[in-house]
Amino acid sequence: MFDFQNLGRFLLIIGGGIALVGLFFLLGGRFLPWLGRLPGDIRYQGQNVSCFFPIVTSILLSIILTIVLNIILWLIRRGPQ
């Protein structure tokens, strides 16, 4: 059976996650000015075109988020003893 209460909780969690990501991007430029300007990030600026490929920044964020999420999942699985 479809449960609106579970759907509401799910939407609140997703909305909170999106708000946290938005807050990170807002404050990230102020507190982490090197983010997006690491060696290995490719920036091309032509006469009419500019492209930016943050390869190293993406790899670094992926590693950090993987570690953080693995720690969170480990703590959740461990549970109260």
Are residues 26 and 54 both part of a single domain? no
Domain span holding position 20: 1-33
Provide, rounded to the nearest whole percent, the portion of the chain with pLDDT above 70: 94
Considering the domain architecture, whether residues 27 and 44 belong to the same structural domain is answered as: no
Same domain, 48 and 76: yes
| Residue carrying the six token digits 């990170």 | 24
**Helices within the chain (DSSP H only):** 4-31, 55-78
pLDDT of residue 1: 59
In this structure, are 79 and 60 located in the same domain?
A: yes
Residue 76 and residue 46 share a domain: yes
pLDDT at residue number 81: 62
- Residue 75 scores a pLDDT above 80: yes
**What's the structural domain count of the chain?**
2
- For 74, the 3-state DSSP assignment is helix
One domain for residues 16 and 53: no
pLDDT, position 78: 85
Are 21 and 45 found together in one domain? no
